[in-house]
Amino acid sequence: MPTIAYLDTLPAQNGLDMLHSQTKVNILKINSFDSEEKCLSILKKADAYQVGAARDEVPKYLQVDKEFLKKLPNLIVISSSGAGYDTIDVEACSDAGVLVVNQTGGNAEGVAEHAVGMILSLFKRIGECDHALRRGWNEPRVSLMGKDLLNKTVGIIGLGNTGGRVAEICKIAFNCNILAYDPYLSDDNFHKKNASKTELDTLLAESDVVSVHIPLNKETKNMINKVSFKKMKKGSYFVTTSRGSIHNEDDLYDILKEGHLAGAGLDVWEFEPPPSTHKLLELENVIASPHTAGITKDSRNKMSEYVATQLLDLFDGKDPSRPVNPEVLDTYRKKFKKI
């Protein structure tokens, strides 16, 4: 009988209930506070490993890399609990013929709403107003004058589930002009999401706000840096709810201090949570949250359901609904037949 080992928990209890209510697959739990030896002893019994998506929440020895896979040649599936997969070296998995799956789309609504909330807060300067009142403030109201989002240009980097939903909200609710950069989508996908397919440099130069919705990988690490920020329209805003390390925090701080950008909304960080002394948190025009965009009750339930359903479907002989490295599917199928 196939065996699934999960680390600590799933995003919500409903997924665990689904896994434990069936009898076709064994379910084992790994505790991240246990020793490496004990954790590996459990994983050696497993065919699939369900791991958290946030790298700062998973011990290094339980993150999936080349050395980890060498110790556990029995694994044929690695499942991330979120849309991201920072704790998984996908290239190493592909080299080993191990299938990687994620739960993309599961928290898209939560993250998209959070991104739009940050955009509105920046345009209306709600964070700055809040800070001013808490300090004690008696200035002319016009000193905190904001802007309307209506009819503005929104640039979206990554037009997938989340970016596409941000585009939809901004277009329908605020009649925004949507510019999008995503080299992996067909022209038809841009049309369906009411977005204009745009080169990155043009998007940066013409957008009143840029919102980032892409995974962290070798291609995107440090993708948004000093060069990118300088190309952005003066007085525009930068928002990211994707992954830390895609944008360069030092470069963002410098460009904000220079006054080139009007503000930033940050849900993701190089190290999470960021220390209270982080220099970006010192800036009045920065709105911050600790990677909580997708942490809603609805999103967690949906992601947990996605985790359980996809893993159980895989061990029922079906193809994955959300593969990260589909190029290994033939190898995966051969390994699955041997179980």
Q: Is 63 left (phi over 0), alpha (psi -120 to 50) or beta?
A: beta
User: 193: which 2 tokens?
Assistant: 């999401």
Distance CA 63, CA 303 (A): 20
Distance CA 60, CA 119 (A): 34
Q: Which one from 114, 165, 213, 243 is the annotated catalytic residue?
A: 243
Q: Which one from 55, 291, 300, 305 is the annotated catalytic residue?
A: 291
Distance CA 218, CA 200 (A): 18
Q: Which one from 206, 249, 272, 284 is the annotated catalytic residue?
A: 272
Whose structure tokens read 């359901």?
Answer: 305
Q: Does 206 participate in catalysis according to the annotation? A: no
Q: Between β-strands 263-266 and 286-288, what pairing exists: parallel, antiparallel or unpaired?
A: parallel
Q: Does 128 participate in catalysis according to the annotation? A: no
In the β-sheet with 196-197, what is the strand arrangement from edge to edge?
196-197, 177-181, 153-157, 209-212, 237-240, 263-266, 286-288
Q: Does 243 participate in catalysis according to the annotation? A: yes
Question: Which positions are catalytic?
Answer: 243, 272, 291
